Amino acid sequence: MNSFQLVIRSIIILAIAIVYAFPSAQTASSQDASKLPNIVFILVDDLGYGDLGCYGQSILSTPNIDRLATEGKRFTQFYAGCTVCAPSRCVLMTGKDTGHCLIRGNGRDNLGPKDLTIPEMLSARGYTCGLFGKWGLGHEGSQGIPTLKGFQSFFGYLDQTHAHNFFPSFLVRNDARFPLRNIVPGETKEGAGVASQRIDYAPDLILDEAKHFVRDNTKGPFFLMLSINMPHANNEAKEKGMQEIGFGPFATFNWPDAEKGFAENIRRMDLAVGQITDLIDGLGLADNTLILFTSDNGPHREGGHNDLFFKSSGPLRGSKRDLHEGGIRVPLIARLPNRIEPGTISNHIAGFHDLFPTLAEITASAQTPKGPGTGISFAPSMLDVTTSSQNEHEYLYWSFYEGKKGQAIRFGKWKAIEQPLGSAVRLYDLNNDIHEDDDLADTQKEIAEKAMRTMQEAYTPGVGNWKLR
């Protein structure tokens, strides 16, 4: 036996040893790919922790999303990757927090070939992956477009400002522009603007494509990412940015126009979730389909809308662009019949960067990010496995690069915030002060100092404009 054959034999023996050392991995890995669960990941845009009925919303109605919570599990301490869109989505897709990921702010940065993503991991595991809606992590002509990052099918918006417009002049199918009949005067080259002639409503077109994807892949396994650009405002329309789609049944309400428009956004968003859920159930796929629902950051105060009108942050303080809880704590609902007990609640502390290793564990994939700033699987908490098998974070870290910048950290019950950067660090006990009213930094100096040290250790310099110091 030559040296090359010896090396190959050693690798095979080692692989067999690893499999038998971890029986659960052996079982999952030996599964036929078609037996793996389908995954439907619904990501909405700028939805607050308190915008859903199942999270305490008392004015607006979200029956379809509430149904998911009734039939699945609702997480109460789950965090977005950042307090604005692009970096939050980068954390989600790459499994690295904003102290370590590539895209750390809203701009025109693109993921590169070396940035492993969730769909690349799932594609290697045998999944057919489709993205429908907003991407924001790779622009036209770049290496970061969805079809180069693991998705076999894409239809929607590449550019995040393009996604502000519900009636754009084009969408993108895979890597080419797909023209629409809307007229957008003064449209930017990326597609942002305000339509003067509104014919083709992009969210409905995107939803139809997502439903076609499900029907075409019933034999599975498939990964559907439905990235809905609601209830985001069209910032280019300024104070009328919540009025793009009209007011629907709220037209006669004695509310400001922007709030009627926001309510209609929430209604349409909920209907879209209901259509996807009903399709999954109607095709007999429910028992083998994990549905996840979450938001990319806290509620906005844009397009004339005030997040306080409907108390979109619920019991939390702050909103989008804040590192207080209202800016980063978001809903997460998970449904998988027979594996997730209906109507349950989890207080496990987790974040966007944990979804990569969680889906890797559920699908028995070996591909997952390693090193500082990467996530921890919470599959045991999601799937009702014995809680003793659930690993916990030492801390969760966020950095924010707009304006005067900032950073925050959560460890156990403690939350520390330095925003703006260079200001005195504020310290809160979230177990007793969820609204972050009582700054304990002066009375708990050792803990505040520990938080400052840990934030220094959790941050590595970013590229381009994304540097805190």
pLDDT of residue 467: 84
Three-state secondary-structure class, residue 303? coil
Q: In the numeric block, which tokens belong to residue 294?
A: 């979450």
**Looking at residue 19, what is its pLDDT?**
33
- Give residue limits of the domains in the chain: 35-393, 397-458
Token pair for residue 303? 């397009």
Strands 128-134 and 153-157: parallel
Q: Which helix (H) or strand (E) element contains residue 156? A: strand 153-157
Q: How many whole angstroms separate alpha carbon 16 and alpha carbon 19? A: 5
Question: What whole-number distance in Å separates Cα of residue 109 and Cα of residue 241?
Answer: 25
Instruction: Please tell me the CATH superfamily of domain 35-393, with its number.
Output: Alkaline Phosphatase, subunit A (3.40.720.10)
Q: Which amino acid appears at position 368 of this protein?
A: T
Give me the pLDDT at residue 4, please.
41
Task: Convert 80-102 to b/e letters by CB count within 10 Å (16 or more is b).
Answer: bbbbbbbbbbbbbbbbbbbbbbb
pLDDT of 26 reads 34
CATH of region 397-458: 3.30.1120.10
How would you classify the pairing of strands 406-411 and 414-418? Answer: antiparallel
- Rounded-to-integer distance, Cα 419 and Cα 366, Å: 38
Written as tens digits, the pLDDT of the chain (469 aa) is 444 433 333 333 233 233 323 333 333 444 566 589 999 999 999 999 999 999 999 999 999 999 999 999 999 999 999 999 999 999 999 999 999 999 999 989 999 999 999 999 999 999 999 999 999 999 999 999 999 999 999 999 999 999 999 999 999 999 999 999 999 999 998 999 999 999 999 999 999 999 999 999 999 999 999 999 999 999 999 999 999 999 999 999 999 999 999 999 999 999 999 999 999 999 999 999 999 999 999 999 999 999 999 999 999 999 999 999 999 999 999 999 999 999 999 999 999 999 999 999 999 998 999 999 999 999 999 997 766 689 999 999 999 999 999 999 999 999 999 999 999 999 999 999 999 999 999 999 999 999 999 999 999 998 877 888 7
Strands of 361-413 (E only): list them.
Answer: 396-400, 406-411
The pLDDT value recorded for residue 398 is 98
Q: What global pTM score does this model have?
A: 0.92
Tokens of 225: 């990412």
Least Cα distance to 333 among 294, 298, 361, 296 occurs for 294
